[in-house]
Chain A
Amino acid sequence: MEHIFDFSQVTTWFHDLLTLTLGLGDFWAILIECVLVGAAVLGAYSVIAMILIFMERKVCAYFQCRIGPVRVGPWGLLQVVADVLKMLIKEIFFVDKADKLLYIVAPFLVIFGSVGAFCFLPWNRGAHILDFNVGVFLLTAISSIGVVGIFLAGWGSNNKYSVVSAMRSAVQMISYEMSLCLCLITAVILTGTMQVSGIVEAQSGPWGWLIVQGHVPALIAFVVFLIAGNAEANRGPFDMAEAESELTAGHHTEYSGMGFGFFYLAEFLNLFIIAGIAATVFLGGWAPIQIGVEAFDEVMQYIPGIVWFMGKAFLLVWLLMWIKWTFPRLRIDQILKLEWKYLMPMALINLVLMTVVVALGLYIK
């Protein structure tokens, strides 16, 4: 692992630059760093959102025998830029009888939950933004704030479709949170830590990815996590809240301009976050592929961690898009049936199975 670039060299150097070279006090140094990191996070957030939107359009087009956007820019590359521009200059209106406070607050809550969860992703060795010892636990807690936003949006916009959608999404998200957490706990049993960086470190040896290390139970946990995560991100075939053929646009029917833009961004980023967490927890995050052959491992280690992480995450994003663009939508009672009758019991049994595997040392070391 010695060849993997450690991003903490950069951060330490920068901290030293501020405190030692420029002689700033701790307060100012940390303030400057926080502002810079915040800007970087928001920048990365919006850039990734744009990439995802473009990717979704192209991937969906190719699944549907179309070619997707081609008119704006070469191969349609500037289409998303044009869309964002349009969204920014659109009028923001308020529904007459809406609950104004909730109506305005809701999109911010959604985006807050999404950005919060986004900060937990490990980009590279030493490049974690938030890295607590209860990391995974906190991550699920913060990402749940988004549900409140969707619920308030549905309730606050005084639209009957929106209310139905809000109820649906609340029910759905609370249910799927269960299996999501159970799967993460399954992983935690094996890695022995809840800290995100620790989870990745635990997977960096030869054949170290959790999905290999924990074989059967890890694989089951991985699949259940992807399904539950897909539902958590409100994407097809679980896009009950939006369900455009039933509830027009569901909870964001009454939003325009950036209010709608926030929901839209958060939806795509949630997809990326789910893929990112799955990549981190089950596919080793930034850890390169290691097979125990020295020459091969060394070459792999020269590929930067961020490439590994992004590669894995986008592969999973593509997989989720493939699923979304293949299946019809489920009905609300079927979604709940799937969760409570199939996924939940499976995740619980799997948890026990993993405990047994770990206790008996049956995992691949």
Chain B
Amino acid sequence: MENNKSYFGELGHGIKTLATGMKVTLGEYFKDYWTNKSTEQYPENRKTTLHVSKRHRGRLVFKRNEDGAYKCTACTLCEKACPNGTIKITAHMAEDPETGKKKKVLDDYQYDLGDCMFCQLCTNACNFDAIEFTNDFENATFDRGALVLHLDKEVYQGGSLPNIQDGGAEWQVGKFNTKKK
């Protein structure tokens, strides 16, 4: 406000700007009055209108082919790449009965979800395309111990929400999936 404005000019200007503000809020008050505004109703919508980006990093899993075999060769590149020491691999050397060559065999692939900071260095380091992040985000537990996972031993079926693996419901810029169903 310029200081040279008159007493009443300032008053009038003030009232005008305040009225503009009130017009905006009133507009928002009645806009979408019955369609629940911008609040998304998790957890009611988790199997219906929930959208989670496909690339969201929820947790690490082993990639497996149809018969459930994994590709990990226990080369420990991911273990070395991890800044937090989240991954611990134990392996032993065994002779392949067919070729007779010595080969590393994975005993345990331990992944501590509680320590992970989702930097993707492990997936970047992997030369065998053996691990990936999924968007399975419902990982809360009551016990830190339950966050220590053994990826080679678990049979991962898409976690608690297999329906969002490809992103879930459709979404649109400027709109919220506010409905429960």
Residues of chain A from 219 to 243 with CB closer than 8 A to chain B in the complex: none
Interface centre among B18, B29, B33, B36 (most CB of A within 10 A): B29
Check if A63 sits within 8 Å of B21, measured CB to CB.
Answer: no
Beta-carbon contact of A342 and B36 below 8 Å: no
Q: Is B25's CB under 8 angstroms from A66's CB?
A: no
Chain A residues with CB under 8 Å of B26's CB are 322
The answer to whether B22 touches A323 (Cβ under 8 A) is: yes
CA distance A345 to B132 in the complex (A): 72
> Is B11 within 8 A of A65, CB to CB?
no
Q: Which residue of B lies closest to A342 (CB)?
A: B11
Contact for A326 among B21, B33, B39, CB less than 8 A: B21
**Residue B63 is within 8 A (CB to CB) of chain A in the complex:** no
A342 to B8, CA, bound (A): 10
Write out the residue numbers on chain A whose beta carbons fall within 8 Å of the beta carbon of B37: 61-62, 65-67
A261 smallest CB distance to B (angstroms): 28
Docked Cα-Cα span, A61 to B36, in Å, equals 10
| Residue ID in chain A nearest B39 by CB atoms | A67
A363 within 8 A of B: no
> Residues of B contacting A323 with CB < 8 Å?
22
Contact present for B21 and A327 (CB under 8 Å):
yes
Q: Does A260 contact B (CB under 8 A)?
A: no
A322-B26, A325-B25, A326-B21 as given contacts; A62 in contact with B38, CB under 8 Å: no
For residue B28, CB closer than 8 A to chain A, the reply is: yes
Question: Which residues 25-78 of B have a CB within 8 angstroms of A?
Answer: 25-26, 28-29, 31-33, 36-39
| Cβ contact within 8 Å between A65 and B28 | yes
B18 A62 Cβ-Cβ under 8 A: no
What 1/0 flags go to A316-352 for Cβ under 8 Å of B? 0000001101110000000000000010000000000
- The verdict on A322 contacting B22 (CB below 8 Å), with A67-B36, A67-B37 known, is yes
Asked if A66 meets B11 with Cβ closer than 8 Å, knowing A326-B21, A326-B22, A327-B18, the reply is no
Contacts of B29 in A (CB 8 A): 62-63, 322
Give the docked Cα–Cα distance between A326 and B24 (Å): 9
CA A63 to CA B32, docked complex, whole Å:
11
The smallest beta-carbon distance between A5 and chain B, in angstroms, is: 35
A235 vs chain B, min Cβ distance (A): 16
Please indicate the chain A residues that have their CB under 8 angstroms from the CB of B24 in the complex: 326
A322 contacts B11, CB within 8 Å? Answer: no
Contacting residue for B25 out of A61, A63, A67, A342, CB 8 A = A63
Please report the C-alpha to C-alpha distance between residue A342 and residue B37 in the assembled complex, in whole angstroms. 38
Residues of B within 8 A of A326 (CB): 18, 21-22, 24-25
B21:A66 contact, CB within 8 angstroms:
no
Cβ of A342: which chain B residues have Cβ within 8 Å of it? 11
0/1 interface trace, chain B 8-21, chain A, CB 8 Å (1 if under) = 00010000001001
B28 contacts across to A, CB distance below 8 A = 63-65
Contacting residues, chain B, for A66 (C-beta < 8 A) = 37-39
Residue of A nearest to B33 (CB): A62
- The residue in chain B whose Cβ has the minimal distance to the Cβ of A323 is B22
**A65 contact set on B, CB distance < 8 A:** 28, 31-32, 37-38
Write out the residue numbers on chain B whose beta carbons fall within 8 Å of the beta carbon of A62: 29, 33, 37
Q: With both chains docked as a complex, state the minimum distance between the C-beta of A174 and any C-beta of chain B, in angstroms.
A: 24
Nearest chain-A residue to B18 (Cβ)? Answer: A327
**B39 contacts across to A, CB distance below 8 A:** 66-67
Shortest CB-to-CB span from A282 to chain B, Å, is: 20
- Distance in angstroms from A172 CB to nearest chain B CB is 19
A169 to B: closest C-beta gap in Å = 23
Please name all residues of chain B whose beta carbon is closer than 8 Å to the beta carbon of A63 when the two chains form the complex.
25, 28-29
Determine the chain A residues whose CB is within 8 A of the CB of B32 once the complex forms.
65
Residues facing B in A56-94 (CB within 8 A) are 61-67
CA distance A326 to B18 in the complex (A): 9
Closest approach, in angstroms, between the C-beta of A315 and any C-beta of chain B?
Answer: 14
* Cα distance, A134 to B152, chains bound together (Å): 85
A59 nearest CB neighbor, chain B only: B29
Instruction: Please name the residue on chain B nearest to A325 by beta carbon.
Output: B25
Complex: A62 Cα to B32 Cα, angstroms: 10
**How near does chain B come to A249, taking the closest CB pair, in angstroms?**
25
A334 to B143: give the CA distance in the assembly, Å: 53
16 sampled A-B residue pairs with Cβ under 8 A: A61-B37, A62-B29, A62-B33, A63-B25, A64-B28, A66-B37, A66-B38, A66-B39, A67-B36, A322-B25, A323-B22, A326-B18, A326-B21, A326-B24, A327-B18, A327-B21
A binding-site residues for B, Cβ under 8 Å? 61-67, 322-323, 325-327, 342
Contacts A65-B38, A326-B22, A327-B18 known; 10 new A-B pairs at CB < 8 A: A62-B33, A63-B25, A64-B28, A65-B37, A66-B37, A66-B39, A67-B36, A67-B37, A322-B25, A342-B11
10 closest A-B pairs by beta carbon, nearest first, are A65-B37, A326-B25, A65-B38, A67-B39, A326-B21, A63-B29, A63-B25, A62-B29, A326-B22, A67-B36
